[in-house]
Amino acid sequence: MRNIAVVGVGYVGLVTGTCFADLGNKVVALDISEEKIEKLQQGIMPIYEPGLAEVVKRNVEAGRLTFTTNYTETLKDAEFVFICVGTPSGVDGEADLQYVRQAAETIAQEMDHELIIINKSTVPVGTGDWVAEIIHDAQPKPIPFSVVSCPEFLREGSALQDFMNPDRTVLGSLNVEAADKVAQLHLPLRAPIIVTDLRTAEMIKYASNAFLATKISFINEIANICEALGADVKEVAIGMGVDKRIGPRFLDAGVGFGGSCFPKDVLALKHMATVQGKHPQLLEAVMDINYYQRKQVVLKIRELLGEDLSGKTIGLLGLAFKPNTDDMRDAPSIVVTELLIEAGAKVKGYDPVSMDVARRVIRGITFCKDPYEVAQDADVLVIMTEWNEFKQLDMIRVNKLMNQPIIIDGRNIYDPEIMTEQGFMYRGFGRGYNGRTLDD
Ligand code: UDX
């Protein structure tokens, strides 16, 4: 049992602290938001993450997990301090490190014994050295410490599972002994532990996310070519994915990637390269393709309804950036709504989980209570997020409710032929000739 402090109780910090507590460690999790901490102390989760509330409750009741806004309490018995604060995109895509700086300075000022400070926030290459300098300069008196980079690879919606079953743990440090102690924390996860230097560990995180984003933009490019040539990209992805060098995952074509990581991390890596005089053409293309996927929703609607969308009603099914989360950060639905409103259309939308969050970030949309209210009087229905509840809708009822039976399947969850049989004009992303395959 080790004593662990976590600074920043967001998507990463709350999962990290809770899981380390669930492994038997004693964890004190701090956030500067009093509201967030009060809610957690009442058992109310600040984020939607399937299964998280139960694990938090179990560990709070066992006395292994506490929440506070007080740094002195947080660091009192700590051996390890995980920095899990946000690093949002700043100007030109550069990662905004103000919260990392605040955390590092406060830790330096409050610490009264040796600490291993672990950077779990996604930070530009070189930040570990920068954090060490900040702590060194901010300490009232010199106290030994070491900095270790331990990037996270958690997907929202499956974060608990991803934490407990990682493909690997990556550790970077100039202090091998510190890295070894952090490695000990991760032994119960029984996954490969890669120990390297700080900069390499930080780059592994960016390169991994940028590659996954590239894989998505690649299959989206293939989808766009499939549409012109009459091939079905879902079958293409199956045929590609059985090749062990390619793998079947992250080959789902559609409206593209969103979330708080891929867009931010690709832009940050692009920025890092640019300031070093490099030309990240591939990363630029990855973002350009991703934005074009959102624009294609409007292009496909115009192809079916005509150029002038004024007065047309478009229904969006799904608003969150992916299923099993309430997160709306960089969700494709935000840009699609903006483009449709700009084109003069009326937009309706529904999401099983993210409605409260969506109301704060999407303007000009009429929020509905269920998919059928979205379909009511809609000229087009667009699948933006592949929530399971959209996969078994009563399509006969949907057809009757709609002004016109037109479906744009932004996540390719439906079968084009079945949609056609059910009387819909169907457009997927890369599903053969406008939803028909060669043998139509
Ligand atoms: C991602 C990384 O997967 C994770 O390792 C990292 O730590 C954080 O960023 P996350 O953003 O939570 O996780 O979700 P993920 O499941 O990776 O999906 C990201 C976006 O890509 C979503 O908008 C999703 O809809 C989209 N996506 C994913 C596709 O468009 N096609 C795919 O095949 C897979």
pLDDT digits (tens, 9 = 90+) for 231-279: 999 999 999 999 999 999 999 999 999 999 999 999 999 999 999 999 9
Examine the pLDDT at 321 and tell me if it is beyond 60. yes
Examine the pLDDT at 439 and tell me if it is beyond 70. no
Ligand 1 neighbourhood includes 332 CB (under 6 angstroms)? no
> To the nearest 5 percent, what fractions of the chain are helix, strand and coil?
45, 15, 40
pLDDT digits (tens, 9 = 90+) for 348-394: 999 999 999 999 999 999 999 999 999 999 999 999 999 999 999 99
Residue 402 contacts by C-beta under 8 Å, 6 or more apart in sequence?
375, 376, 377, 378, 379, 381
Ligand 1 neighbourhood includes 259 CB (under 6 angstroms)? yes
Q: How far is the CA of 119 from the centre of ligand 1 (A)?
A: 22
Nearest CA owner, ligand 1 atom 2? 155
Residue 193: per-residue pLDDT: 98
Domains, the chain, in order of start with CATH, read 3-196 (3.40.50.720), 209-435 (3.40.50.720)
Closest C-alpha among 234, 280, 244, 248 to residue 417 = 234
pLDDT digits (tens, 9 = 90+) for 10-63: 999 999 999 999 999 999 999 999 999 999 999 999 999 999 999 999 999 999
Closest C-alpha among 439, 422, 337 to residue 382 = 337
- Quickly state the pLDDT bin for 89 (edges 50, 70, 90): confident
- Quickly state the pLDDT bin for 405 (edges 50, 70, 90): very high
Ligand 1 neighbourhood includes 262 CB (under 6 angstroms)? yes
411 residue type, one letter: R
pLDDT digits (tens, 9 = 90+) for 144-156: 999 999 999 999 9
Residue 358: per-residue pLDDT: 97
Q: Are 191 and 167 in contact (CB under 8 A)?
A: yes
Q: Are 212 and 155 in contact (CB under 8 A)?
A: no
pLDDT digits (tens, 9 = 90+) for 415-430: 999 999 999 999 999 9
Strands 145-149, 169-173: pairing is antiparallel
- Range 371-394 burial, b when 16+ CB lie within 10 A, else e: bbbbbbebbbbbbbbbbeebeebe
- Which numbered atom of ligand 1 lies nearest the CA of 331? 23
Q: How far is the CA of 280 from the centre of ligand 1 (A)?
A: 21
| Average pLDDT rounded to a whole number, residues 173-193 | 97
Assign residue 436 a region (left: φ > 0; alpha: ψ between -120 and 50; beta: otherwise): beta
Ligand 1 neighbourhood includes 258 CB (under 6 angstroms)? yes
What is the spatial distance between Cα 116 and Cα 173, in angstroms, rounded to a whole number? 10
Q: How far is the CA of 39 from the centre of ligand 1 (A)?
A: 28
Residue 178: per-residue pLDDT: 97
Ligand 1 neighbourhood includes 251 CB (under 6 angstroms)? yes
Ligand 1 neighbourhood includes 152 CB (under 6 angstroms)? yes
Ligand 1 neighbourhood includes 218 CB (under 6 angstroms)? no
Examine the pLDDT at 183 and tell me if it is beyond 80. yes
Strands 193-196, 346-350: pairing is unpaired
Edge-to-edge strand ranges of the sheet holding 313-317:
365-367, 346-350, 313-317, 380-383, 406-409, 425-427
Count of alpha carbons within 13 Å of 289, Cβ hemisphere only? 24
Q: How far is the CA of 19 from the centre of ligand 1 (A)?
A: 21
Average pLDDT score over the chain: 96
- Quickly state the pLDDT bin for 92 (edges 50, 70, 90): confident
- Which numbered atom of ligand 1 lies nearest the CA of 259? 11
The predicted model scores a pTM of 0.95
Active-site entry in 150, 226, 261, 368: 261
Ligand 1 neighbourhood includes 212 CB (under 6 angstroms)? yes
Examine the pLDDT at 434 and tell me if it is beyond 80. no
| Average pLDDT rounded to a whole number, residues 69-77 | 96
Q: How far is the CA of 157 from the centre of ligand 1 (A)?
A: 10
Residue 90: per-residue pLDDT: 84
Residue 435: per-residue pLDDT: 52
Nearest CA owner, ligand 1 atom 19? 257
| Active-site residue flag, 150 | no
Residue among 322, 329, 330, 411 to mutate when testing ligand 1 (max atoms within 8 A of CB): 322
Ligand 1 neighbourhood includes 198 CB (under 6 angstroms)? no
Nearest CA owner, ligand 1 atom 25? 322
Examine the pLDDT at 175 and tell me if it is beyond 90. yes
Residue among 12, 208, 212, 234 to mutate when testing ligand 1 (max atoms within 8 A of CB): 212
- Residue 83, classed as helix, strand or coil, is strand
Closest C-alpha among 349, 355, 348, 369 to residue 326 = 355
Edge-to-edge strand ranges of the sheet holding 115-119:
65-68, 26-30, 3-7, 80-83, 115-119, 145-149, 169-173, 193-196
| Average pLDDT rounded to a whole number, residues 281-303 | 97
Ligand 1 neighbourhood includes 321 CB (under 6 angstroms)? yes
Ligand 1 neighbourhood includes 261 CB (under 6 angstroms)? yes
- Quickly state the pLDDT bin for 438 (edges 50, 70, 90): very low
Nearest CA owner, ligand 1 atom 34? 250
Q: How far is the CA of 257 from the centre of ligand 1 (A)?
A: 6
Q: How far is the CA of 302 from the centre of ligand 1 (A)?
A: 28
